Structure 1
Amino acid sequence: MTAPTKTRVGPRGRVTIAAAIQRDTGLTEGEEVIVRSGGDGVVIVESVATVKARIRAAATPAPAGTAYDAVADVRASRDGDVRRDDLLQHGDRDSVVAGERLGPEDPGKELLRSLEL
């Protein structure tokens, strides 16, 4: 790990990252980075690849032998929300409060069935 270095915020908010830190972190000239606030004067700079890898690592993997279908998952979630809203509007709060699953058991299969595939 490289020792901390001191730099200044320049014109238009630009900050120069010391070459030693760039080498240590694998950042290269022209590479896109994500910059975010860590609060209280802390600025976090990460490569796009690092952020993508962190998101992928945090994602729940698909069950063995199946492929994850994000579109079907979003549609199933929306369908469940619509069903829940319908139940709430028509006075069937008990089903919603009891935590009854309102969406299809397997959103991917449900989508294929609805598309007659």
Structure 2
Amino acid sequence: MFGETVADRDTWQGWLFLMPNFINFSLFFAGPLLLSFYLSFTDYNPAQQNPAQFIGIRNYSQILSLSFAQVESGVSSAGALSPGHTEMGRIRIGGSDLVIGGSDPLFWR
């Protein structure tokens, strides 16, 4: 164009050359990453028509919660753990066991 230097033209061509990469990065990486981060703070359910409600870090506290209970050796831990927690492991301490329960055992493995 008028008054454009060679350096200006090279800079403009460089940006045009990189633009498809920036667009692909935004559409296929940054966009879904930011959307999933936003949705992790809501109670969004794609199977329901309800709009997503902001619930803060409740999803993370449910995933990361652990419970501990002391039971006699060989006894089931069914009633000892918090509701919704499943047994993930036992540690024998003396004549009893320390049972570790998690709300999402697949996350902790």
Q: TM-score, normalised by structure 2?
A: 0.25
- Tell me which protein shows more strand as a share of its residues: 2
User: Considering only CA atoms, is the larger Rg found in Structure 1 or Structure 2?
Assistant: 2
Q: TM-score, normalised by structure 1?
A: 0.24
